[in-house]
Structure 1
Amino acid sequence: MLNERNYIRFIREKVGHDLIFLNFSGAIIYNQNNEILLQKRGDRNAWGFPGGAMELGESATETAIREVLEETGLKVEVEHLIGAYTKYFDEYPNGDKAQTISFFFQCKPIEGSLKADGNETLELAYFPITHLPPLFVKQHQDAVEDFIAQRKGCIR
């Protein structure tokens, strides 16, 4: 079965850098101090939420849980869907273009401890909602606005 990286590579071998749809899931994880967890991403050297591309046969919720564990070392419980963010475009450092569709979930940590691998995740830190660094893409900015406003099931 193709996994996320193989699937994207498989598609890119056929379409090159052309614009395609890519589906992602991410998590806004909060702690007991009402701070939210951000990941400094290795591919952009910028802050965002843990998450990544869906694998074939995987649900959006399963993707969020798997990606959080891989990128942070935390097992999380998904509480609810914050929103689906569908009309966003990105160009990656290698020239690939995509309309990115992301599902963001509100999650709480239930097990594990933070660990950054130094490659995909350069740094992990909890931030007060009132003192967030700039986030690397508009989808993440919109998702945190919806989280702060306590919205559920947004579609943008």
Structure 2
Amino acid sequence: MTTPEFVLALREKVGHDPLYMGGVTAVVVRDVPPGAAVWEVPDVLLVKRKDSEEWTPITGIIEPGDEPDDTAVREVWEEAGIDARVEALLGVGQVGPVTFPNGDQAYFLDTSMRLSQIGDARPRVNDDENIDVGWFTISQLPPMKPRFRLIIADAVAQMKRPAGYRPRMGYHKRSTHPKD
């Protein structure tokens, strides 16, 4: 999916000035099958973005009236052509400032979630935002931004030890306590 219509309408009014929007990061994890060797690790679904040629988990903008979990499921379908379900909240934090190639600026309040695939369809590039898609073992990820590595690690930690996992509150944690 390209830039949502509501963002285009806002951009007509504010130009390239910063917008603050809701976003999602959908980390689709495929666990190792039961009985697999101890050294086997889960896979994560990544897309290679057309605009930056960077590998990332699936991301998207929450449209007015949508819930973050519904947006995550929709974005996985739109970008990779597979059905998925949300399994867990990984965290919430600010992303940005982001400056897009056309000069638009934005900040995102990002909700990151771990998802699992429904069925066994092979992922495919299903939109015009990406140029490649595939499963990567978490021990051999391609180069990517530290935030994405962090949230992928969180996804696996939450999957392996759900009772002890606490969702991350902020990706660039700085104290806001007045005494700090």
The answer to whether the superposition gives a TM-score over 0.5 is yes
Distance between the aligned counterparts of 1:103 and 1:123, measured in 2?
24
Q: How does 1:1-156 map to 2 (within 5 A)?
A: 5-33=4-32, 34-111=42-119, 112-117=121-126, 119-135=128-144, 137-150=145-158, 151-156=165-170
Q: Which one-letter code corresponds to 1:90 in the other structure?
A: V
TM-score with structure 2 setting the length = 0.77
Letter in 2 for 1:127: F
Q: Secondary structure at the match of 1:30?
A: strand
Shift, 1:133, TM fit: 1.1
RMSD: 2.0
**Pair member with larger Rg:** 2
Contact 2:29 2:155 in 1 (8 A): no
- Percent same amino acid among aligned pairs? 29
Give the letter aligned to residue 29 of structure 2.
Y
Query: Are the equivalent residues in 2 in contact too, given 1:29–1:36 (CA < 8 A)?
Result: yes
| 1:87, distance to aligned residue in structure 2 (A) | 4.8
More strand by share: 1
* Contact 1:42/1:118 (8 A) holds in 2: no
Distance 1:149 1:99, change over 3 A: same
Provide the secondary structure at the position in 2 that maps to 1:13: helix
Q: CA deviation at 1:69?
A: 0.5
